[in-house]
Amino acid sequence: MIKKLFASALLCLSFLTVQADEGMWLPSLIGSRIKDMRSKGFKLSAEDIYSVNKASLKDAVVQFGGGCTGEFLSAEGLLLTNHHCGYGSIQSLSSVEHDYLTYGFWAKSHSEELPVPGLTISLLVKMEDVTDRLAAGEKAEDIIAAARAEGEGYRASIEQMYYGNQQFLFVYQTYRDVRLVGTPPSSIGKFGGDTDNWVWPRHTGDFSIFRVYAGADNQPADYSKDNKPYQPKRHFTVSTKGVDEGDFTMIYGFPGNTQEYVISDAVDYVAKTSDPMKIALRTQRLDIISAAQAESAEVRIAYAAVHANIANAWKKWQGEVLGLNRLRTAEKKRAYEADFAKWAANKSEYASLLDNMHKAYEEVIPEYYMRELFSESVATIEAYSFARSLVASVERAQAEGKTFDVEAAHQRFIKSYNQQIDQAIARRMVDEFCQRVLPERMPADLKAQIAYYGGAEKYVDAVFRSSRLLGNDPVTISDVRGDALVNFVRIFNNIYNNSRKYAYRNLSNAPQIEQYYRPYMQALREWDKDRAFYPDANFTLRVAYGKVAGYEYADAEYHHPVSTIDGIMEKDDPNVYDYNIPQVLRDIYATKDYGRWAQQIYGKKSVPVCFLATNHTSGGNSGSPVINGKGELIGINFDRTWRSTMSDMEFDPSICRNISVDIRYVLFVIDRIGGASYLFDEMTLK
Ligand code: ARG
Ligand code: GLU
């Protein structure tokens, strides 16, 4: 009994204080952490990190494209991010004659840089706590409109922190003339592919280089050959000194989505229901696609990005489940909640909070589960998505008294459609949907069709066999009406419409649940006074700090924090796509002539490639600058180890590690593989 009590006291303790290196802090409030940061090796001030009045490090950090981070490397707008963040841009500029994905690209002068239509970067102009202004009755739209009017290319938004207990105005300036300057070949930038994704030891040179252009006044402008390189207020000094285990690290970037404060119900949902379901469904899709890829080079290329996307979250979720189970996160949260309930019992505003939350979860979970099940199963069938949007287009046109060119849409679709793969996926996905659907939600028509054809897979085969939409013959509006695939779409209409209503970022963001998190967070802050609260990630700019560190991967198996070029050569295999390095790298290795990039690592002469650190990061932190105590760039963040991905719900300092590409490997590749050392002239190397 005593032992048991002690154990539960220990369990609770771990939530009382923020563990070392946990946290994604708001830059404008970093003053509250600066003492801790300085005790760990940071040499600069809070003002150096974030200031509205003078140039600070924040002016050297940008949001890149939709969901990545990038950083300025020169006074001439040179910008560094990950290769996987620049991937879409590089792909869009590539053709069979100019295959930059395969061979890389290096602009020899500004005039050779390649504009990327549609690519933008955003700089944070300022962030401001507007909680009081909103409480005093100011309208959010007015605050946003006023902020937008303050400058050229400004956009603004108000973001919720702590489930709406605090509201921040974020004002960004968006630049829309961004050009590709350089990228290594994929055999370096994507070395290891999906095999090594989320894995340590890692040897990926995950970087690409762009340049931001501006009008004559340094303000955002549409692409023009007369535009000039943007002059940032601040760019990073690059350290060429190298990192050592224990060195201070700070990451400055835009993490996307964490849920550190959710109650046990939400953790159970992720660990027991959501992740296992999604993993099982994705395993089947990946098996089908991988098998087809192994048989045809054409399929391998056509499905490369699809495969990578499916596999990325698939692997992440596996680590998350493992981690949540290993840490017993739900169990610890239940103990924490029980203690909280005792404290809240005699406080009228909080006493029924947890009960209300449990009830709300009970109500929303079936809806949210159906939404996730549907989007991971039937909605992944290409033929389904095509037919659904075709029907919607036809109906929209009819309502507007117009006609819709069904045949043109049909031709566009079948041009790149692989029915064999899609049908194999559809058979599995419909069958899985039927097995996993909440019984009372099973569409009656689906049940009837399956009974009629003698099984889900047979039903799917019949649909694919008889649909004219999947054949090569021209189709007309009247074909659409009675088509088997269109009927298939109709069968799922209710499920589809309902699932759209529950398209919230996370289960806990459904309004029925979220309404209780605002008072819950308030209560936690009153009750759990020693806990250092930081707001969940929401794609706003954050600071995370920690140190370069290896970790105990398994009993007696220590993983060192720095990988080297020797490890690349150990993996090198011309017959394995993910590990086939460029010949020039083999040649350099054979001579061991690494020039200025040579370094003694673990007692041998080598070149560092990637390193591990203890920073709390998440998706969106890709491309983030990793800086040392002096504020100099030492790497680019690009991944976590998959076994540490439960840090989106609980950060465990003993195992959670982010993975960065060492800036010296970036410089080595620019210099020795790209032959582009002229880029160093505009950088500040130290
Ligand atoms: N795991 C990293 C992230 O979550 C890298 C993903 C891109 N690389 C890949 N092999 N799919 O974005
Ligand atoms: N690769 C992720 C990204 O693109 C970062 C990895 C993570 O989730 O930490 O943002």
Model confidence pLDDT, tens digit, residues 27-49: 999 999 999 999 999 999 999 99
Distance CA 665, CA 609 (A): 5
In the annotation, is 622 catalytic? yes
**What backbone phi and psi angles, to 5 degrees, belong to 377?**
-120, -95
Residue closest to 131 by CA, chosen among 514, 511, 518, 505: 518
How many C-beta neighbours within 10 Å does residue 399 have?
8
DSSP summary character for residue 125: E
Residue 96 has what pLDDT?
Answer: 81
Residue 2 has what pLDDT?
Answer: 41
- 630, amino acid identity: K
Pocket test for ligand 2, best of 258, 638, 657 (most atoms within 8 A of CB): 638
DSSP string for 272-299: IIIHHHHHHHHHHHHHHHHHHHHH-HHH
Pocket test for ligand 2, best of 539, 617, 647 (most atoms within 8 A of CB): 617
Residue 95 has what pLDDT?
Answer: 85
| Helices assigned H by DSSP within 2-68 | 2-16, 34-39, 46-49
Kindly calculate the radius of gyration of the chain based on its CA atoms and give it in whole angstroms: 27
Chain position carrying tokens 């889900």: 456
In the annotation, is 84 catalytic? yes
Peptide bond into 220 cis (omega under 30): no
Low-confidence residues of the chain: pLDDT under 70: 1-19
pTM of the model: 0.94
Q: Which helix (H) or strand (E) element contains residue 662?
A: strand 658-662
Whole-angstrom CA distances from 548 to 318, 639, 647, 658 are 25, 14, 17, 9
CB 182 within 8 A of CB 113: no
* Nearest ligand 1 atom to alpha carbon 622: 12
Residue 9 has what pLDDT?
Answer: 45
Distance CA 95, CA 213 (A): 24
Structure tokens at 406: 């069904």
Kindly name the residue from 28, 56, 83, 84 that is annotated as catalytic. Answer: 84
**What backbone phi and psi angles, to 5 degrees, belong to 42?**
-80, 135
- Strand segments, DSSP code E, in 305-397 are none
**Residue 209's beta-bridge partner residues?**
80, 182
Closest residue CA from atom 8 of ligand 2: 619
Residues 6+ apart with CB under 8 A from 30: 37, 46, 49, 50, 543
Residue 300 has what pLDDT?
Answer: 85
DSSP summary character for residue 454: T
CB 657 within 8 A of CB 613: yes
CB 168 within 8 A of CB 540: yes
84 touches ligand 1 (CB under 6 Å)? yes
Residue 19 has what pLDDT?
Answer: 54
Q: How far is CA 58 from the centre of its chain?
A: 21
313 touches ligand 1 (CB under 6 Å)? no
Q: What is the dihedral of CA 574, 577, 582, 585, to 10 degrees?
A: -70
Pocket test for ligand 2, best of 618, 626, 661 (most atoms within 8 A of CB): 618
329 touches ligand 2 (CB under 6 Å)? no
Residue closest to 143 by CA, chosen among 172, 173, 168: 168
* 575 φ/ψ sector (left φ>0, alpha ψ -120 to 50, else beta): alpha
Whole-angstrom CA distances from 589 to 46, 382, 567, 573 are 43, 45, 11, 14
Q: Ligand 2 centroid to 204 CA: how many Å?
A: 14
Residue 11 has what pLDDT?
Answer: 47
